[in-house]
Amino acid sequence: MGRPKTPDGGVATVRGTTGGHGQSPMPSSSWHAVVSEGALRGATESMDSTFLDNGIQVLSERIPGVRSASVGVWVRQGSAHERDAEAGASHLLEHMVFKGTARRTAQEIALSLESLGGSLDAYTTREHTSYQARVLDRFLPQAVDVLADLVLAPLLRTDDLALEREVVLEEIAQVEDTPDDLVFDLHADHFWGGHPYGRPILGSAESVAGMSAATLRDIHSTRYTGRGLVVAAAGNVEHDEFVGRVAEFFGSVDAGAGPPEVSSSPEARVGEVRVPRDTAQAHLVFGGMGPSHADPERYALILLDSALGGGMSSRLFQKVREEMGLCYSIFTFHSFYRSGGVAGVYVGTRPASAGRAADAVRSELERVVREGLPADELAQIKQQVMGQVMLSLESTASRLYRLASFALHGEELMGLDEFLARIDSVREEDILLVASRYMDPAAQLLLRLGPDGDA
């Protein structure tokens, strides 16, 4: 199955552990001033946003009828913000915060919420790092306590780094042995051509082996600051009470400068790259430039992505797998970043079939570039995507990720009805435009990982 994936394509740290044993005294910081607020009210949604005076954005969504809460802290620091020499530092720092704080040992962190029936997870992406917990609603204060302790006060000891570095080196080795993961890292490296978005989130074995505790402390002191933090909760949550709790634990954090902007995306690299590897399958990734998260064209691309490779009824699945029998796994993918994006297709097939599979994928992409989607297929895909979105938002964790996404991308709070309206407003000509702009195989880079030679 490969590495656990996050909602935005990052690398998740699977722990099944939690933090916060609920018996440490609360810090004695006072409520910091609220400098701005926002809210969205709907028939089924109630979202609120508040900025503390140190720049931290606090968001919540009250979900009636649940007895749990999902809560998280997002740091605007990811692999795209790293220098080449510190590649992988954001992810390694995410690991290191669990090794202990001034108030808790690593084992106490592992027990503190798990003993209450909760869970704690973390992940790193190209543009942010996230720490989240899920607990019964009455334990939300303990969860905020634990998350604040992890995020703000990790010890980051050199001795702990020596051990955790080995864990991450094992993680990197695991990716090397998982070709359907590795092929995406290789594609990103070649496609982005030295741009920060092409750097592996884990870093390299060389960069991780040479990482110092001083480097991690520097990133922590400069990036884990007020303007770089988003704190959000979804579930049985009262906003004012949650803001008060966040201010209590996070209010004394310096505002800081926030993360640097990621440079604009370079020109797209096209063509074909082959990476020889002794594997049972050939792994192919077609990928081209996609829109940024702020680009409204992303709604049309989401629909086109689903039509081409979003499920068993999709065009590529039906053609390449069901009709031609050339693969087991085939799907489309997309990632929307602040300064650009990527969209494409993955297919895994036996080496002898790689040429035919690649031709079949190109043929389907060329057809949609020429023709777009007919009205009846577009209507069906709209219903499919809208249904999937509505079903996904039945969990507090999904609501939490959506809430944090608004803040991380500088967007206004958007209710489900507004999102569905934007999906429904996509026209046939919009699909034709994004197909020609983002799915033309002539404007994509094909990377093939597997045995040399072709059939």
Sign of the alpha-carbon dihedral angle for 439, 442, 445, 451: positive
What is the number of residues in the chain?
A: 455
Q: Strands 282-290 and 119-124: what pairing?
A: unpaired
Q: Which two tokens stand for residue 188?
A: 């990103």
Query: Concatenated DSSP letters for 95-153?
Result: HHGGGBBSS-BHHHHHHHTGGGT-EEEEEE-SS-EEEEEEEEGGGHHHHHHHHHHHHH-
Cβ contacts of residue 33 below 8 Å, gap of 6+?
A: 52, 53
Instruction: Quote the CA–CA distance of 143 and 133 in Å, as a whole number.
Output: 6
Which is nearest to 201 in space by CA: 221, 215, 181? 181
374: left (phi over 0), alpha (psi -120 to 50) or beta: beta
Sheet bearing 229-235, strands edge to edge:
11-17, 119-124, 129-136, 68-75, 229-235, 57-62, 46-52, 34-41
To the nearest 10 degrees (0 to 180), the angle between helices 213-223 and 158-176 is: 90
Residues in a beta bridge with 154: 101
Q: Which of 45, 82, 94, 364 is catalytic?
A: 94
Sheet bearing 445-450, strands edge to edge:
271-276, 445-450, 282-290, 341-349, 329-336
Asked if residue 213 lies in contact with residue 161, where contact means CB atoms within 8 angstroms, the answer is: yes
Instruction: Quote the CA–CA distance of 219 and 418 in Å, as a whole number.
Output: 37
Instruction: Quote the CA–CA distance of 319 and 329 in Å, as a whole number.
Output: 12
Which is nearest to 129 in space by CA: 151, 110, 105, 113? 151
Instruction: Quote the CA–CA distance of 95 and 163 in Å, as a whole number.
Output: 11
Residues in a beta bridge with 285: 346, 447
Which is nearest to 332 in space by CA: 294, 302, 292, 289? 302
Annotated catalytic, 248? no
- Enzyme catalytic residues: 94
